[in-house]
Structures are given as structure tokens and as C-alpha cells.
Amino acid sequence: MNPLLLVAEACTSILRDGRRIAPMAAGIVWGVASVFVLVAITRGFETTQRQALEALGDEFLLLRVNKPTVNRSDTNVGGFVRLEGDDIIAAREASMAVDLISPKAFDWRSRAYRDGEQTRGQVIGVSPEYAEIVHVPLAPGSRWLDENDMAQELPVTVIGPRVRSDLFGEEPYLGRQIQVGFRGGDGDSLMRKLTVIGALEDEELAGDSVYLSQRSVIFVPFPVFERMSARGFMFFVMRPHDGLRDEALSEVRAILGDRQGFDGADPGTLIPYFDAIERSEQIDAVFGGLQTFLVAVGALILLLGAVGVANVVLMSVTARTFEFGLRRALGCKARWIFAQVFLEAALVCVIAGVLGFALGMGGVTLMGEIDLPEGFASPQAELDAAILPGILLLGVSLVAAAWPALRAARIPVVRALQGGR
């Protein structure tokens, strides 16, 4: 039999048995489209979470030290501890598990002024290591704080994108001066002129924590902050050596406990306000679980598709027993009967898979036009999300169709001409 004639016969049989084949094909279409959309949504959400983490840095901890509270009614026991620069130096020198550490000294309610323009901001005193711990995306032409700025206590600053926009707009800002109000140790407001040496690019995503946001920051060398705001500080950032997160926390807690007079063995005294390492592990765990779930859903769809294909092909073979017997009696070889039945199943699966892919792509495109809740990115359609399930579905379906096709090819001619009784 001519192969082209074989394909034509298979297409004719599919059209003739359309009512029987349609429910099975519709199930395949819906299954492929569903898996494709689920994978796209998962990839979009995962991308958003990882981008948000990368915009901050994924190997650091933002920490605050608390005094241990034994009796909550005793207000003299609890509360946060105000640190000094020497505390951070001691932790840096004495801890073997800490890679980098920097103070992050906040003055929350500061205002910055320039030529009649003003804006709210957070003055933050840091050391040069801060940019190696936390992601600090500098705008072109900018430079970060260095050891010379620290040693000479130079009045320089790196400003956030919102501060730059409010004070300078589209004007040049490098080398220009701004005035910033500090709160002194006695509560009085102090004004200080700072020279802008850099600005940050706005790479943050919506919903960033106020403790982590860099849109309204005014970074200054820590000695400048310490001299102008002599009230100590509460927060610092730390990057442990690889795999030594718990050891670093334990060592720093003990060092600060000895210096500040609290129990360094109490894990409640060192509070992670943000733990990028733990969040990265949580993201891996969550999306690893989602991938397992999607694999299970895909396997179930494949199983149902295989059962449907085998059932439909078997019914078709039973209904066409006399046809196959007549063809055999007229000289058609058994392998051509097998090939026709097998080809019919393959064509149905391929067509249904392509339609399912098109339906899934349409759904993903439509969802991309919708305003999704904060924290969600548009679904990301990836070709491997369709190709792999499609190949597996085709393979499983063909395996399921093999037995009915083989049964059709092996049925005795006389029995087939008698109607398969």
C-alpha cells in the first residue's frame, strides 16, 4: 500500500469516527493546555520572587540585637540594644564564620534640602563593605563610599533614586551639595552639608520592606553618622561564609553578649529582620514542591490520556472488524492494518497536542494582559513546557494504541469476515 494512501485512509477513518474520537481528543487538548498554563504561572511567580531577592542580595542577614526578657512585666529587662562601631569591629575580627559585616545605622525621620527643594529620607551610616553584602546598583558615573571617606570622615553621600528625583529632577547631581537634618544625641536637629558622589538605580520591586528599601536612602560614611548622631544604632548586616549561617549567628551573638552584658547563648537576643539565605532556601523548597505537584498532575493527565486512547482505538477496532477482514481477504498485509490503526492514534494525539499548545499559549497571552496582584509577574510561556509534555503524551498514547492495533492486525481473516463473533 502506498504510504500517502495510508495517510489518506487514516484521515478518512478519523473523520468518519469523529464522534467517538472527539471526547478523547478534547481531553488531550485540555490536559496539555492546563499543564502549559500551570507551568507558565509557576515560572512567572518564581521569577518574580527570585528577582525581588536578587534586587536586594541573596546571601546576607539584616539583624538587630535585643536584650533577653525573662519577665515581660519588667520594662528594665527587655528592649533593643544600641550598638557602637567598636562592636561591629570586634565581631568582624573575632568571628571566624563571618565573611563581611557592616553597621546599618538609621536616622528614620531625616529631611534633605537643596535650593528650595526638599524630601524625606533615611540617613544610613554604613561601611564600604555594605555594597559587597547588599546589592547596591549604582547609576552611571557614581562611586561608592571607600576607606578614605571613612578614615577622613568626609561629608559625602550616595543617594537613592527618589531623593535624586525630588531634589535634582533631570539636573546633574554628581558633585553637588545637599543639606541633611540629623537628630543629635540630645534630640536636637543638626544640619549637615553633604556632597553627592553617587546615586542608586531604581531596581526594586513593589512591596519592598521599609528596612530594605533603598529608594529614599541617604548613605553616609559610618563615622560621619556616628559623630552627628551619637545615640548608637540598632541594625547591622552580615554575610556568613558559605554554609556557616548558624555558626556566624552564634559567634556574633556571643561576642556582642560579652560586650553589651546580655546572655549571648539566648537565640532570642539576635533577631533576623531579613534573612536572604533562609528566603532563598524557602523559594527553592516551595518551587521544588510545585514542580513535584506539576509532575504528578502531568503523570495523571498522561495516564488518563493513555486510557482514553486505548479505549477509543479498541472500540474502533471492534467496530471495524469486518472491514479489516475484508481488506485482508483482498490481499492487504497485516502490517498495513497495524500501521493504519497506529497512524490514526498518532494523528489524533499530534493534532490534539498542537491544539492544546495553542489553547495554552492563548491563555498565557490573555493573562499577560491582565493586571495581576502585587508580587506576581506575568506568566512566562516556555517552549520546553509544551514540548516535553507533548512528546511524553505522544509516546504514552502510541504505546497505549499499540495493543489494539496489534489485535486488529492479528485477527484471523475468516473470523473477521464473520463479524468478529
Q: pLDDT by residue (tens digit) across 94-129?
A: 999 999 999 999 887 788 999 888 999 899 999 999
Q: Report pLDDT for 155.
A: 93
**pLDDT, average across residues 47-56:** 76
* 249 part of a folded domain: yes
Q: Say whether both 246 and 309 belong to one domain.
A: no
More confidently predicted of 11 and 205: 11
**pLDDT, average across residues 392-413:** 73
% of residues, the chain, pLDDT over 70: 86
* 64 part of a folded domain: no
- Last residue of one domain, picked from the residues 233, 261, 289: 261
Is 349 a residue whose pLDDT tops 90? no
Q: Say whether both 145 and 22 belong to one domain.
A: no
Q: Say whether both 401 and 312 belong to one domain.
A: yes
More confidently predicted of 370 and 238: 238
- Last residue of one domain, picked from the residues 230, 261, 292: 261
Beta strands in 202-258 (DSSP E): 217-221, 235-240
Average pLDDT, the chain: 81
Number of domains within the chain: 2
**pLDDT, average across residues 237-263:** 91
pLDDT band at residue 220 under the 50/70/90 scheme: very high
What pairs with residue 113 in β-bridges? 118, 179
Q: Say whether both 119 and 16 belong to one domain.
A: no
* 41 part of a folded domain: yes
Alpha carbons 143 and 196: distance in angstroms, whole number: 10
pLDDT digits (tens, 9 = 90+) for 122-172: 999 999 999 999 999 999 999 999 999 999 999 999 999 999 999 999 899
Q: Say whether both 313 and 245 belong to one domain.
A: no
User: At how many degrees (to 10) do helices 18-54 and 276-319 cross?
Assistant: 170
Beta strands in 26-146 (DSSP E): 61-65, 98-114, 117-126
Residue 241 to residues 59, 95, 382, Cα–Cα distance (Å): 9, 11, 35
Alpha carbons 234 and 64: distance in angstroms, whole number: 6
Close Cβ partners of 226 (under 8 Å, ≥ 6 residues apart): 84, 85, 105, 125
Q: Report pLDDT for 383.
A: 67
The model carries a pTM of 0.70
Q: Report pLDDT for 419.
A: 58
Q: Report pLDDT for 198.
A: 95
**Choice among 44-48, 233-237, 394-398 with the minimum mean pLDDT:** 394-398
**b/e sequence 305-337, b meaning 16+ C-beta within 10 Å:** bbebbbebbbebbeebbeebbebbeeeeebebb
Q: Say whether both 345 and 383 belong to one domain.
A: yes
More confidently predicted of 10 and 274: 274
Q: Report pLDDT for 384.
A: 64
Residue 348 near residue 26, CB atoms below 8 Å: no
pLDDT digits (tens, 9 = 90+) for 291-301: 788 777 777 77
Q: Say whether both 381 and 249 belong to one domain.
A: no
- Last residue of one domain, picked from the residues 207, 232, 261: 261
Is 388 a residue whose pLDDT tops 60? yes
Of 239, 275, 290, 226, the residue nearest 87 (C-alpha)? 226
More confidently predicted of 70 and 226: 226
Q: Say whether both 88 and 231 belong to one domain.
A: yes
Of 105, 171, 175, 165, the residue nearest 143 (C-alpha)? 175
Q: Say whether both 132 and 202 belong to one domain.
A: yes
**Choice among 120-124, 214-218, 231-235 with the minimum mean pLDDT:** 231-235
* 372 part of a folded domain: yes
* 387 part of a folded domain: yes
Is 186 a residue whose pLDDT tops 60? no
- DSSP conformational letter for 101: E
pLDDT band at residue 71 under the 50/70/90 scheme: very low
Residue 177 near residue 194, CB atoms below 8 Å: yes
More confidently predicted of 188 and 26: 26
Which sign, positive or negative, has the C-alpha torsion 20, 25, 28, 30? negative
Q: Report pLDDT for 32.
A: 79
Q: Say whether both 163 and 257 belong to one domain.
A: yes
Close Cβ partners of 143 (under 8 Å, ≥ 6 residues apart): 197, 198
Q: Say whether both 45 and 112 belong to one domain.
A: no
Is 35 a residue whose pLDDT tops 60? yes
Q: Say whether both 295 and 250 belong to one domain.
A: no
pLDDT band at residue 70 under the 50/70/90 scheme: very low
Please give the residue range of the domain that contains residue 342.
Answer: 3-53+281-417
